[in-house]
Chains A and B, each alone.
Chain A
Amino acid sequence: RAAFVVWMGINIFLFVWFYFFYDLGDQFFYTRHLLGSALAWARAPAAVLNFNCMLILLPVCRNLLSLLRGSFMCCGRTMRKQLDKNLSFHKLVAYMIGLMTAVHMIAHLLNVEWYNNSRRGVYDGLSTALSNLEDAGNTTYLNPIRSTDTPTYFVFTTIAGLTGVIITLALILIITSSMEVIRRSYFEVFWYTHHLFIIFFAGLVFHGAGRIVRSQQTTDPPHNFTFCKDRFEEWGRIPECPVPQFAGGFPQTWMWVIGPMILYVFERLLRFIRYTQKVTYRKIVIRPSKVLELQLVKSGFKMEVGQYVFLNCPAISQLEWHPFTMTSAPEEDFFSVHIRSAGDWTQKLINMVEELPEGAQGPKMGVDGPFGTASEDVFDYEVSMLVGAGIGVTPFASILKSIWYKFKDSNPKLRTRKIYFYWLCRETHAFEWFADLLQVLEREMEERGMGDFLTYKLYLTGWDQSHTAHVMVHFDADTDVVTGLKQKTHYGRPNWDKEFEQVRKENPTSVVGTFLCGPAALAKVLEKKCAKYSDVDPRKTKFYFNKENF
């Protein structure tokens, strides 16, 4: 939110500043005589346009952004939120560009018409005199329309006019093909048309080269317009009023946009390099509920817990890149993703893989990433409370595995001695693979006599009559009916007070780190509980809620 306010503030400032610069500046007095306030109305949006054209390329440089950003992006929800935030900002800037282009264009329509009229001598004597200033010898012109051709002719024979029309056309085509309807259904149209931005930026850089916005220059002796404006018939003949001289403004747009343009070129280069690097399949597993697990190997690929990658499968779509949180731990010599059917692309991938013979390599895959700098904090706490809601459980696969690897290797970075894991979901459908993972960890820990290392509770928030009936009948079973895990499933949402009480009771002197991957509402609840159950006494339990993470 703060970023939005800052951005809007800068836009407003630029608009107002440049509006008054052109509307009040003395050097534009004569220009204004011909154009009125339409001059300022054209130049103010131009400044806002410079600013926004500079910004628009930046949010889509995902590789570069992930290098810069220090914040943790982990789970499906917040990762998508982060990506969405970038795209939302890109769209917002695009809307501003569209709006300012409209204002700029309308103002210039007026300007061109009035310059044309001045040229034809339709207005007062001063206007005609100003328009008659030649662009030869020791005179410089003010009115860029040098002949009585139509405004349309003028626009198409000047750099500013021609580039203006071309880039506005490009902008319109980009916008119409980016409408949600088109984008979601016909991605190719959207993506290819969007590349018109290359034409947009090329034209934009040259748009001011003609220098047709003219201001009065100081002459020697000076030409005082207040005195001389009514004496235009005597210019050049009386000492107080030499012929006024004009010059065009230095084109500035390129200064604004050249930086982001170069950055974007690097971004595309980086994506392309990553795309061409070879990716092989180590293992392909079809999990219950049609979840596809892909274990991939790429040389030089290094990941951290909870990061995500973009996958591209040319056999399905040349252009689409889809994000997936990685479910493997950094300690493993491969990286894995679990893909569920959530749309055309994922469904096609699952179908393709199902038809593969045993042990064959999967379809060629491009991998971009990893993105999202992981926070190492999760390993720092003696006791951790990890809460994963719904699809937010995915990065915890990575985290739990990594914690277990570090524990087995006695990695000194790991200070965790006890983990409480809360898994909240409506139903376990499509997450059986995670239950399997927990089972494996449970078994390994029991083998080492570490049964207490990990305590996890599954909360099914979408239970109904049939569930309860099922549970009642199997009450005596040793393992949970839903997950097959030794620890039982709970129904409904957790009673956080009880949970925090229990953690506090079992760990009376520890510092407990709480990490959430789930909805913001839950984050607020947990934050409150952490504050409530933390003791002022430093020897007693303290809960820390990690807000910027997860």
Chain B
Amino acid sequence: MGKIEWAMWANEQALASGLILLTGGIVGVAGQFRGWQFAAYGVAAGVFVCLLEYPRGKRSKGTSVERTGQYCFTVCVKSFGPLTRNYYVRAFLHAALCVPGGFMLATVLGCVCLGISSLIYLGAAIHGEQWMPILPQKEQTRKPVGESIKNPPQNPPPRPPAELRRKRVEDLEGAAYVNPIAVTAND
């Protein structure tokens, strides 16, 4: 149970609002409703919000799960720097974007949903959260191997001659190693 990062929920809500605003807008335009200009606005605003909110931000604690194919969107959104990083900006942006939606029935739901997500973003901003892009991990450069590997030893390690090294039946205890199988003298 990590500490709540409100931005995560605000993001889901905003993305949903974008879709709802877009759908309402399409219905308003296609149905040639009275006030269809607001519906057209809804389409544009809806698309914009979707593009802005599609890339998930990086979580400050825990693993971040990307949305499919969000990398290009991440790059775009990242390029706006502090405008997209700061959640106060997003909160006010969504609050402003949602207002025209309230003038027409088809977009009113999108308006309210976007307004709610604006409030959640405000909460996130007050908590000091920020949007950080999820970028692929850079290749870990392998630690370079020490220089000494280039100078292998020239001579074998010092040892007594082979006859002395072999285990003798009379002196099993004095040997330098242990056999897993019992030693028998060669007959």
Contacts and interface: CB of A to CB of B under 8 A. Distances in A.
B162 interface: no
Nearest to B106: A109
A106 B27 contact: yes
A423 B28 CA distance: 64
Given A109-B27, A181-B12, A181-B65, A186 B5 contact: yes
Contacts of B104: 152
A384 to B, nearest CB: 42
B9 A182 contact: yes
Given A110-B27, A182-B9, A151 B105 contact: yes
A320 B23 contact: no
A152 B109 contact: no
B12 A177 contact: yes
Contacts of A179: 12
A317 B33 contact: no
A112 interface: yes
A156 to B, nearest CB: 9
Contact of A186 (B2, B24, B56, B112): B2
Interface residues of B, number: 32
A185 B31 contact: no
Nearest to A113: B33
Interface in B40-92: 56, 59, 62, 65
Interface in A275-323: 317, 320
A117 B56 CA distance: 43
B31 A113 contact: yes
B31 A110 contact: yes
B31 A109 contact: yes
Given A176-B12, A176-B13, A185 B113 contact: no
B122 interface: no
A225 to B, nearest CB: 26
Interface in A185-215: 185-189
A172 interface: yes
Nearest to A186: B4
B108 A165 contact: yes
A175 interface: yes
A151 B105 CA distance: 6
A292 to B, nearest CB: 19
A116 interface: yes
Nearest to B110: A172
Contacts of A317: 1
Interface residues of A, number: 34
A106 B24 CA distance: 8
A47 B99 CA distance: 34
A189 B112 contact: no
A155 interface: yes
A223 to B, nearest CB: 31
Contacts of B168: none
A173 interface: yes
B132 interface: no
Interface-centre pick from B16, B23, B33, B59 (highest chain A CB count, 10 A): B33
B10 to A, nearest CB: 9
Interface string A76-88: 0000000000000
A102 interface: yes
A440 to B, nearest CB: 34
A106 B116 CA distance: 21
B112 A169 contact: yes
B27 A173 contact: no
B109 A168 contact: yes
Interface in B20-46: 20, 23-24, 27-28, 31, 33-35
B95 interface: no
A407 interface: no
B8 interface: yes
A133 interface: no
Contact of A112 (B2, B5, B35, B105): B105
A110 B23 CA distance: 13
Interface in A118-175: 150-152, 155, 165, 168-169, 172-173, 175
B35 to A, nearest CB: 8
B20 A176 contact: no
Contacts of B112: 165, 169
Interface in B96-119: 103-106, 108-109, 112-113, 116
Contacts of A151: 33-34, 105
Contacts of A152: 103-105, 108
Interface in B130-187: 180
Interface-centre pick from A102, A110, A176 (highest chain B CB count, 10 A): A176
Interface-centre pick from B12, B28, B113 (highest chain A CB count, 10 A): B12
B105 A150 contact: yes
Contacts of A175: 16
Given A176-B16, A181-B56, 14 more contacts: A112-B105, A151-B34, A155-B105, A165-B109, A169-B109, A172-B20, A173-B13, A176-B13, A181-B8, A181-B12, A186-B1, A188-B4, A344-B1, A345-B1
13 contacts: A105-B109, A113-B106, A150-B34, A150-B105, A168-B109, A169-B116, A172-B13, A172-B20, A172-B113, A177-B12, A181-B12, A181-B65, A185-B1
Q: Which 5 A-B pairs have the closest CB atoms?
A: A151-B105, A176-B12, A152-B105, A176-B13, A186-B4
